[in-house]
Structure 1
């Protein structure tokens, strides 16, 4: 274990902690002194199935290193699942200090072919799951006057990507959820922030590799290891980051980004009021130079991070 116990005495839940970013975050939290609830149902990338071994293996690794952790296998998609996850922290360690909402699934598909089931499944895990677990922790945070939420968003929602309407909607919804939690709970000393991670995991293993350009992009992503994201998640859980709330960060290899948030950039006003014709003639032409292009995440982050 690390000599510097940045999170000593804290109890933190990590959802989706059996693999990838969640696993790396759980291990690093424990290495910095936190007691960790390792939540994972062990499903496949699309959320189907269940396997307790990934969560158990992470717990075993933490225990072998001298840390403290317990496994939890409840689904974040259910209200009672969220309650049970937080109860696991209370019953095993006596308190709850942080929630890292990392659980996720992918069911990609072009929008006009996307099924209702695939849309609902992704919303249920990412957005509703983040709500369920956070809502279960919120009364404890309020009572003790402290607590931290770290929520995983994505540039698929912040910027855009092909074939991910469900995922993008969920991930941008998490941004709104996170900001609302930050605003509503700031009076209780609670922080809430988002991280948009760039890291290889099985959840992005579905990225197409039909061209040399796509293959090269995937090869670069595969070099972005989950521990890079875990570092920022651990940082945001520390008392030294208690002044940081309502923000959206990104991590891409050794780069850390602070994202802008929507604010008005142009305005038009008339004392007579607007008609469709005057909007077409005056407003849209005036705004057009500031319109955002239809870009994907890869179009904006188009430089080599290595």
Structure 2
């Protein structure tokens, strides 16, 4: 099967450099018409210029592809709506949205200003919400859509000094879980990509030989699979250095203890059994937790 995007229109946010640029170039190389969005700011979100986005557009056009530039901040919903309209005016539809825009303001939680926490959440989480909301009705109407959220191992598993970034990134997984259910009837697939890549945001954090292995290009295949018409939905793909994994949020079988005066003590005593991962499941919706709990309670009564 060939992974191609002929006739498809894609929007990639934060695509002026790093991973987003590679996403835009790869989609265009495989036939997509690409709106390249980038605020053109610094890693911490300050400043802005459409120059970075335009340079990527020029690269795509020089290679024979179709692309247009956009300098909207993903935190500005009106500007994001205008961005989507720009793509529709140019090409009539939007098939793929890759929510890639992000910033870093790393500090330990003790030293972090709340303004820096809020801004990172605004860009990563609300930025993705704004862009997704702006394409959602359109994708429902055309009965087709592929949305890729960019999560992170920092959100899935934690990383010192990144409480703001990690919280925002795991929130995107929660957003995906529900949107994949709501979009299913109209063939809208929503997935998450957890990249490990050497970009402006990571270059000061790793040794040179590790950075060399972690080329942004090595993450792109996972994005292409998640953005393609054959994509799964509700999947968290991890990618870095040419290695690909999947992450899952699971539910253990648990133990029914009932409700008695000493239930807290019973729970403490049997916590290892409650957290035992033998026979765990990947729930298909949030209802699975309640179903498991009530089923065990009813069985205990019988």
Q: TM-score, normalised by structure 1?
A: 0.85
Query: 1:235: how far off?
Result: 2.2
Partner of 1:224: 214
Task: Summarize the Cα distance change of 1:46–1:222 in structure 2 as closer, same or farther, 3 Å threshold.
Answer: farther
Q: Aligned to 1:67, what secondary structure does the other structure show?
A: coil
Q: Aligned to 1:203, what secondary structure does the other structure show?
A: coil
Partner of 1:246: 234
Query: 1:237: how far off?
Result: 2.0
Deviation string for 1:260-302 (max 9, x for gaps)? 223235334236365434433x233544777xxxxxxxxxxxx
- 8 A Cα contact 1:8 1:32, kept in partner: yes
Q: Structure 2: how far apart are the matches of 1:273 and 1:193?
A: 44
1 or 2 for the larger relative contact order (CA 8 Å, sep ≥6)?
A: 1
Q: Aligned to 1:205, what secondary structure does the other structure show?
A: coil
Q: How does 1:197-276 map to 2 (within 5 A)?
A: 197-207=195-205, 216=207, 219-241=209-231, 244-270=232-258, 272=260, 274-276=262-264
Partner of 1:301: none
Task: Summarize the Cα distance change of 1:284–1:24 in structure 2 as closer, same or farther, 3 Å threshold.
Answer: same
Q: Aligned to 2:220, what secondary structure does the other structure show?
A: helix
Question: 2:9 matched to 1:11?
Answer: yes
Q: Aligned to 1:100, what secondary structure does the other structure show?
A: strand
Question: 2:271 matched to 1:284?
Answer: yes
Unmatched 5+ residue regions in structure 2?
Answer: 278-302
Question: 2:137 matched to 1:145?
Answer: no
Q: Structure 2: how far apart are the matches of 1:126 and 1:20?
A: 16
Query: 1:181: how far off?
Result: 1.0
- 8 A Cα contact 2:74 2:123, kept in partner: yes
- 8 A Cα contact 1:16 1:103, kept in partner: yes
Q: Structure 2: how far apart are the matches of 1:276 and 1:145?
A: 49
